[in-house]
Structure 1
Amino acid sequence: MSTTLPTGAKIINGVKTFIPLENNPEVHTHLATTLSIQSLTFHDIFTLSPPPQDLPHPINALIFLAAAPIYTRARSTLQSTLPKYTTTNETDPIWIPQTIGHACGLMAFLHCVLNLDDGRHLACGSELAKLREELVSLAPGDRARVVYEALFLEEAHMDAARGGSSGVPGPEEDNGFHFVGFVKGGDGRVWELNGGMPGPLERGVLGDGEDLVSEAGLRLTVGDFMEAAKEVEGGGYGGLGISLVGLVGV
């Protein structure tokens, strides 16, 4: 049984559920504009080998989308072994558990823009900037509640989701894909930020001259998924199983 909300989102089995986002620069730019995000551009990354050279740099945040078989192969074992992240640490990024159905795209987007360059791309005084200020000191469960209840995020997500270039599943339909965000912090640490995992995952450290699409950066971020994709039919890069968008501060 479901109830349709004014935004078009639905409550399905007691859980607020969205239309999934597409992973393309146009959709992310639309969402960023709605949320008053400034001086940030989004770029399709069409090839990984060799690492792309024709894009602006540094690319210190990535929004990654993988088909469910690829994601499951790459992360199911790891997910079952990680401890639940229950506290906050000022040296860790802002991580938020996902409690909204079909919102993994929004969560990846939020994890990137809230953490990239310590959130400096959020317009001062905007709703998202105020949300970030509130989230910093909260425990993960409380962060999830605040995001779940944020009507402005629901409205912005649903508006952006309808602007995609292909047909997207409705809230009640199976998604079949999962988003993950990656961010390089100011200290060089690389974080995998996924609201479907038990917590943030530190992947390693990059040097000052290395961004997330350097050879080392790609290995720390999407490397596991690319290896998993080799074992999934149609999962290779450039197929339908994987897509990647880079974020660049300007």
Structure 2
Amino acid sequence: MMSTPSTNQSSWPWCRAQHTLSSSSRLLTRTTPLRPKTSPLARERQRLLNRKTYSMEGFDDLYPTDQPVLWFPQTIGNACGMVALVHALLNGSLRERLVPSSPLAELLDEALKLPLPTQHADLLYNSVVIENAHSKAAARGDTAAPDAQDPIGYHFMAFVKGTDGNLWGLDGSFGGMMCYGPVGEGEDMLSSKVLDIGVRRFIKAGEGSSEFSIIALSEGEE
């Protein structure tokens, strides 16, 4: 669902985003690295963007006032993996499992007090704790990280379940947020119907490509 490199710029000196992402049984988070517009994945993303979506242009006016999902517009260069992971952790049932008073729990508490996506973006951008954690994770990677200002033909997004019971696709860049439809009673994020309206179309578009990945955040057995 990503077609072109993000145009968002950042002054974060540590912005060395690793391309890892997450998803979950109830909260399917998905990552899709893409090449520019010619790839099947890019075309699929563009096709879906022609549907009703909350875009980056005027997003404060379009953002639902009841906040069915928390959306963080990406204002940090080459950090789409981190932004997608934040979307995965701070939406759906996973938010209930955050350790109280932990950095993520505090980020969630602060974000829920803010009504506008621009405020969410500033909150994430100014988080020293998130910056330091991201820096340490990026430094452990085997691949040389790009500069924060370098254009990259890859991108990550997340699929999450909103408080309104719908499946939402959250993209930190210009794609914004898109409602795919309801998650039925008794269904979770890995049920066949939910996969059909969301992730499977990307799996089909990315078939045979080594530049495609999906990772799930799911509950383990205790």
Q: Where on the TM-score scale, by shorter chain, does this alignment land: which range?
A: 0.7 to 0.9
**2:93 corresponds to which residue?**
117
TM-score, scaled to structure 1: 0.69
Check if 1:90 corresponds to 2:57: no
CA distance in 2, matches of 1:111, 1:128: 11
Deviation at 1:215, TM superposition (A): 2.1
Amino acid in the other structure paired with 2:92: L
Taking a change above 3 Å as real, the CA distance of residues 169 and 216 of structure 1, as seen in their structure-2 partners, is same
Check if 1:22 corresponds to 2:19: yes
Taking a change above 3 Å as real, the CA distance of residues 221 and 77 of structure 1, as seen in their structure-2 partners, is closer
After TM superposition, what 4+ stretches of structure 1 lie above 6 angstroms from structure 2?
Answer: none
Alpha carbons 1:65, 1:178 under 8 Å: kept? yes
Further displaced range: 120-129 or 105-114: 120-129
Runs of 5+ unmatched residues, structure 1: 1-11, 29-41, 43-56, 230-235
Deviation at 1:72, TM superposition (A): 2.6
Deviation at 1:178, TM superposition (A): 0.6
Taking a change above 3 Å as real, the CA distance of residues 71 and 102 of structure 1, as seen in their structure-2 partners, is farther
Deviation at 1:169, TM superposition (A): 3.0
Alpha carbons 1:59, 1:246 under 8 Å: kept? no
Alignment of 1:28-177 (within 5 A): 58-68=25-35, 69-79=39-49, 82-84=53-55, 85-86=59-60, 87-117=63-93, 119-138=95-114, 139-164=116-141, 166-171=142-147, 172-177=149-154
Runs of 5+ unmatched residues, structure 2: 1-7
CA RMSD of aligned residues (A): 2.8
Amino acid in the other structure paired with 2:133: A
CA distance in 2, matches of 1:14, 1:223: 33
**1:215 corresponds to which residue?**
192
Q: Aligned pairs, how many? A: 201
Alpha carbons 2:18, 2:145 under 8 Å: kept? no
Deviation at 1:126, TM superposition (A): 1.5
Higher strand share: 1
Asked which structure has the greater CA Rg, the reply is 1
Further displaced range: 132-141 or 102-111: 132-141
TM-score, scaled to structure 2: 0.77
Alpha carbons 1:70, 1:241 under 8 Å: kept? no
Q: Percent identity?
A: 28
Taking a change above 3 Å as real, the CA distance of residues 88 and 126 of structure 1, as seen in their structure-2 partners, is farther
Alpha carbons 2:53, 2:177 under 8 Å: kept? no
CA distance in 2, matches of 1:13, 1:184: 29
Alpha carbons 1:67, 1:177 under 8 Å: kept? yes
Amino acid in the other structure paired with 1:223: R
Check if 1:190 corresponds to 2:187: no
Alpha carbons 1:66, 1:241 under 8 Å: kept? yes
Taking a change above 3 Å as real, the CA distance of residues 224 and 15 of structure 1, as seen in their structure-2 partners, is farther
Deviation at 1:227, TM superposition (A): 4.1
Taking a change above 3 Å as real, the CA distance of residues 226 and 132 of structure 1, as seen in their structure-2 partners, is same
Deviations 1:221-242 (A, max 9, x none): 223323433xxxxxx25x3121
